Amino acid sequence: MRVVAHTASVSAMTDFVNTSPGEPSVICGCSINGLASLLAWWPLAETISGLCPSQVHINGRLTFTITPRDRDKETCYPPETLPKDHAAVLVCCGPGYNGGDGLVCARHLKLFGYKPSIFYPKLSNKPLFQSLRAQCEQMDMPFLSFFPSEAHLIADSYNLVVDAIFGHNYKGPATPEFASILEKLKLIHTDVPVCSIDIPSGWDVDSGCEDGLQPELLISLLAPKKCATMFRGKYHFLGGRCVPRSLEQKYNFCLPPYPGTDTIVELKMVPPPGE
Ligand SMILES: NC(=O)C1=CN([C@@H]2O[C@H](COP(=O)(O)OP(=O)(O)OC[C@H]3O[C@@H](n4cnc5c(N)ncnc54)[C@H](O)[C@@H]3O)[C@@H](O)[C@H]2O)[C@@H](O)CC1
């Protein structure tokens, strides 16, 4: 499968809902408002130097730099290149807000020409999630009543798997219901690309998970979490251009600028000093 960066699909996965309660409360709500505005492209690529603010720091340490992208050349999983069943994608949604992000992602994937099916085993009774589920149903997206029993069935049927099971509030170990799903995702990630939203499911927000799921694409939301330094996949994007300066200062974030009206930027790891 040709795997190149396609900003449209990445953008789709980067859109997310205004979710978690509590601080920080000024979260998200970014919506897809036209592909052009969502292309992660740095117009002054040649001028990027090692200077902040084209860098992301975690715990005061330089960790990522912005990667200039060429919007004409780079694409990431464009639907027309996905051979199985009209760009079929499986979107796996967990019980919390990360799962809510998955439902929003599915909605946009459908609008962008993919064929998403959703696995959402634990519907929350919060109105937000009920509404998101209803929206997906109204858009004729099938909800799987059970997770495919064999990992190879997923790889046979889907071109991509979106992992929106757990995000930054996962506390391991997983309950048996979700543990078996995480195990299957781990088995398939060599056969079908897995795209994780915010945090690869099953990872600890700080320490990650050494033998855990290894997605090919990670979309960090608002700011990369500490565990993102352990991400070894191909593509890492930051989305969620809605952190006010005051909050950035309060929490000592050092976030990259989003060029123009873009709502995502691609990040690349900076090797620790001496490596
Ligand atoms: N708070 C924020 O700043 C933002 C949150 N957003 C999304 O919200 C996510 C966080 O959402 P939540 O706080 O709902 O947390 P999560 O979605 O990470 O997970 C919490 C849910 O998982 C369940 N759970 C936790 N550990 C489990 C285990 N071991 N076995 C089985 N179930 C377990 C909890 O009961 C709860 O239902 C983020 O990762 C991100 O995707 C984004 O929409 C953007 C902003």
The answer for residues whose C-beta is within 8 angstroms of residue 218's C-beta and 6 or more apart is 195, 196, 199, 200, 228, 231, 233, 235, 236, 237
Using CA atoms, how far apart are residues 202 and 223, in angstroms rounded to an integer?
A: 19
Give the pLDDT confidence of 103-114 residue by residue, as tens digits.
Answer: 999 999 999 999
Mutate to test the pocket of ligand 1, among 168, 213, 220, 255 (most ligand atoms within 8 A of CB): 168
ipTM for the complex shown: 0.97
Residue 235: its pLDDT value, please? 92
End-to-end CA distance of the chain: 32
**Token representation of residue 99:** 């799962």
Residue 9: its pLDDT value, please? 39
Q: How far is the CA of 258 from the centre of ligand 1 (A)?
A: 25
- Max avg pLDDT among 76-80, 140-144, 226-230: 140-144
- pTM listed for this prediction: 0.83
- In the structure, which protein residues have their CB atom closer than 6 angstroms to any atom of ligand 1? 16-17, 19-20, 24, 27-28, 94-98, 101, 166-175, 178, 197-199, 221-222, 240
Is the pLDDT at 20 greater than 70? The verdict is no
Q: Whose C-alpha lies nearest to ligand 1, atom 40?
A: 98
In angstroms and rounded to an integer, the radius of gyration of the C-alpha atoms of the chain is: 18
Extract long-range pairs of 80-84: CB within 8 Å, 24+ residues apart. Answer: 80/113, 81/1, 81/2, 82/1, 82/114, 82/159, 82/160, 83/1, 83/159, 84/156, 84/157, 84/158, 84/159
> Mean of the pLDDT values across residues 183-200?
94
**Token representation of residue 75:** 């694409």
* pLDDT more than 70, % of the chain: 77
Mutate to test the pocket of ligand 1, among 170, 206, 251 (most ligand atoms within 8 A of CB): 170
Mutate to test the pocket of ligand 1, among 17, 93, 97 (most ligand atoms within 8 A of CB): 97
Residues in a beta bridge with 196: 163, 218
Residue 27: its pLDDT value, please? 26
Using CA atoms, how far apart are residues 266 and 65, in angstroms rounded to an integer?
A: 8
Q: How far is the CA of 14 from the centre of ligand 1 (A)?
A: 16
Q: How far is the CA of 68 from the centre of ligand 1 (A)?
A: 31
Mutate to test the pocket of ligand 1, among 14, 15, 18, 20 (most ligand atoms within 8 A of CB): 20
Residue 67: which H helix or E strand, with range? none
Q: How far is the CA of 103 from the centre of ligand 1 (A)?
A: 14
Residue 69: its pLDDT value, please? 63
Q: How far is the CA of 170 from the centre of ligand 1 (A)?
A: 6
Task: Share the mean pLDDT of the chain.
Answer: 79
Q: How far is the CA of 169 from the centre of ligand 1 (A)?
A: 4
> Mean of the pLDDT values across residues 10-26?
34
Length of the chain: 275
Q: Whose C-alpha lies nearest to ligand 1, atom 24?
A: 170
CA angle 178-1-103, nearest 5°?
35
Is the pLDDT at 58 greater than 60? The verdict is yes
Q: How far is the CA of 97 from the centre of ligand 1 (A)?
A: 5
Give the pLDDT confidence of 236-245 residue by residue, as tens digits.
Answer: 999 989 888 8
Is the pLDDT at 144 greater than 60? The verdict is yes
